[in-house]
Amino acid sequence: MRCGKCWASSEQRRSQASSSWRSLENERAWFSLRFSQQKKSRGVSNGGSVGATPHVVFVLGGPGSGKGTQCALIAEEEALGYAHLSAGDLLRAERNSGSELAGMINEFIREGKIVPAEVTVGLLRKAMEKSGKSRFLIDGFPRNPDNLAAWEASTAGGAVVVDFALFLDCPEEIMTERIMERGRSSGRIDDNEEAIRKRLVTYRESTMPIIKEFEARGKLREVNSDQTIEEVAVEVRRHISAIA
């Protein structure tokens, strides 16, 4: 005989699973509709043909590896036509918006944990639509296998093409020094020693398997980011220019 508490817990898990599935179905439908509409339109933007299938480069690496800095530099080059979308920045903006998701996102970020995939995918697709471009550098996503599965489920059918994942490899001690330095002026709640430790654990345990997965698929490009910003930028641009 099931106890009431166990039964409630089981029902809650089923409800959450059902909700997640519906969310992914909605995201898949959105991508299919949005980009089928784009293909019917005419005109050219800096990001390529408006009707072109969107192309994505995932930019991965540990906290403090330079993902945001390098993406911003590429996005400044209009000839390359890339929009830079930072999963972390989108989540922080939503957290500060006062929306119904804000409290939940705030707690996950404070603890150095990964926000549920459906939330991040939803924020990314809205930003993609708003950008008006068809080439994207997505910084800090996917961060774990659930993120990747949610992305691939929502873009099934070729609605979005992932060209490759760019891995900015950097020693943990260097990343920690960079974040501590940034924390003196950033005001970010996750730029403190305890949160950094948790983020590095998450990176090792959750994000590295994603990097290995892209490597196994033959879709990983690696750059040593323990160099000056300018030196790293040269290597990053070489990889991006090869497909732009």
The verdict on whether residue 212 carries a ligand-binding annotation is: no
Mean pLDDT taken over the chain: 82
Is 201 annotated as ligand-binding? no
65 is in an annotated binding site: yes
Long-range own/partner contacts, residues 2-11 (CB < 8 A, 24 or more apart): none
Is 188 annotated to bind a ligand? Reply is: yes
pLDDT tens for residues 58-117?
999 999 999 999 999 999 999 999 999 999 899 989 988 988 889 889 888 888 788 899
Average pLDDT for residues 186-209, to the nearest whole number?
84
Distance of alpha carbon 71 from alpha carbon 165, whole angstroms: 13
For residues 198 and 111, the answer to whether their CB atoms sit within 8 Å is: yes
- Cβ neighbours, 10 Å, residue 44: 11
Residue 37 is labelled as binding a ligand: no
Closest CA to 141 of 158, 108, 174, 119: 119
How far, CA to CA in Å, does 69 sit from each of 51, 168, 208? 29, 11, 21
Residue 141 assigned as binding residue? yes
- Cβ pair 49, 101 in contact under 8 A: no
147 marked as part of a ligand binding site = yes
| Interatomic CA distance for residues 19 and 22, integer angstroms | 5
Q: What is the pTM of this model?
A: 0.77
pLDDT of residue 113: 82
Cα(106)–Cα(189) distance, rounded to whole angstroms? 9
User: Does the annotation list 145 as a binding residue?
Assistant: no
Q: How confident is the model at residue 42 (pLDDT cuts 50, 70, 90)?
A: very low
Q: In angstroms, rounded to a whole number, what is the distance separating the alpha carbons of residues 205 and 18?
A: 27
What b/e sequence results for 47-81 when a residue is b if at least 16 CB atoms lie within 10 Å of its CB, and e otherwise?
A: bbebbbebbbbbbbbbbbbbbbbbbebbbeeeebb
Q: Which domains does the chain have, with CATH numbers?
A: 4-241 (3.40.50.300)
Query: Residue 140 annotated as binding?
Result: yes
Distance CA 233, CA 112 (A): 28
The one-character DSSP state at 144 is S
- Spacing of C-alpha 129 from chain mean position: 15
* pLDDT (tens digit per residue) in 118-176: 999 999 999 999 998 999 999 999 999 999 999 999 988 788 999 999 999 999 999 99
**Is 237 annotated as ligand-binding?**
no
Tokens of 102: 């804000």
Annotated binding-site residue? 96: no
Say whether 66 counts as a known binding-site residue.
yes
